[in-house]
Amino acid sequence: MTLSCKMHAQRQDLSHFLKSLHGTFGSNLSRLNGDFIGIIEAIDTENRAISDLGNVIRSSYSTPGPHCEHAAKLIDEVFSDVAQAMYLISCGLIVPGRMVTRRAFEIGLSIAFLWDQPHEYWSWAEHDADLSFTAMVNYLSSHGYQSHIKKLHSENAPAFNISEAQSLYRTLSNTVHGKIDLLPPLSPERFDITTNGAEEHINALLRVTVLVRRTLDTRFPKTEE
C-alpha cells in the first residue's frame, strides 16, 4: 500500500533542500528588530557572567570531593546550551531552541544541588539516575538551604524564586512533551521570525539565564564581584 500526503511540497534534491532551509533560517537573523537584539545582548551578558562565575568557583572554592570538580565543569555545558538556544530561537527554530533552554535550566540549577549532595551526583553520573527538577527546586527553596545560604553571606541573600522556576520549567516542558499551545501553526509561519512569537521565547531564555546566574551567585558568594 502506498501512502501519500498532499500537505508537503514535491520531493527535491536533498542537498538543494537543506541549503534552502539554511537560507530560510539564516534570513531570519537579518530581520531581528532592535528589541529582540537588546534581549540577545542581555542574554549574552548573563551567559558570560555564568562562564566567569565557573572560573571563580574552580579557583576560589576548595572541593570537598571529586564530585565538586565534575559539578563545576557543568557550567561549561550551561554556557554552550544558552548560546545554542539563543541562536536557534533567533533563526526561528523555536521548538529545538526551547528544548535546549530547558536543558540549560536543569543543568544550571543542578550545579548547586549536586555540589552539596555527592550521593546525588554519583547516582546521576554513574548509576543512570535521573535528576528530578522538583527535588532540585525543593532543595534550593528549603528552610535548611536558606539557613545555609545566610551563613555564607554577610547579609541576607535573596531567596530562591521557586514559583518562577516551576512556571518556567512547566512551560518549557510542555514543548518537550509535544504540547503546541504556545507555538504557531505547523506551517511556514512557525519559522518566520516576524510572526512566530520568537520574542516571547527569547525572553523565556533570558529569564532562565538570569535565574541560573542568581542561583549560582547566591550559592557561591565569592563570585559576586
Residue pLDDT, tens place only, 64-101: 788 999 999 999 999 999 999 999 999 999 889 999 99
The predicted model scores a pTM of 0.87
Q: What is the mean pLDDT of residues 11-40?
A: 86
**Other beta carbons less than 10 A from residue 29's beta carbon:** 12
pLDDT tier at 175, thresholds 50, 70, 90: confident
191: pLDDT strictly greater than 70:
yes
CA 115 to chain CA centroid, Å, is: 19
Q: Are 204 and 82 in contact (CB under 8 A)?
A: no
pLDDT at 3: 44
Contacts of residue 173, defined as CB under 8 A and 6 or more positions apart, other chains included, come to 102
d(CA 134, CA 3) in angstroms, rounded, equals 43
Q: What is the mean pLDDT of residues 102-106?
A: 97
d(CA 31, CA 77) in angstroms, rounded, equals 29
d(CA 79, CA 51) in angstroms, rounded, equals 6
Half-sphere exposure of 46 (CA within 13 A, CB side): 27
Task: Give first-to-last CA distance, the chain, whole Å.
Answer: 67
Contacts of residue 142, defined as CB under 8 A and 6 or more positions apart, other chains included, come to none
pLDDT at 186: 60
16: pLDDT strictly greater than 90:
no
User: Where is pLDDT greater, at 4 or 56?
Assistant: 56
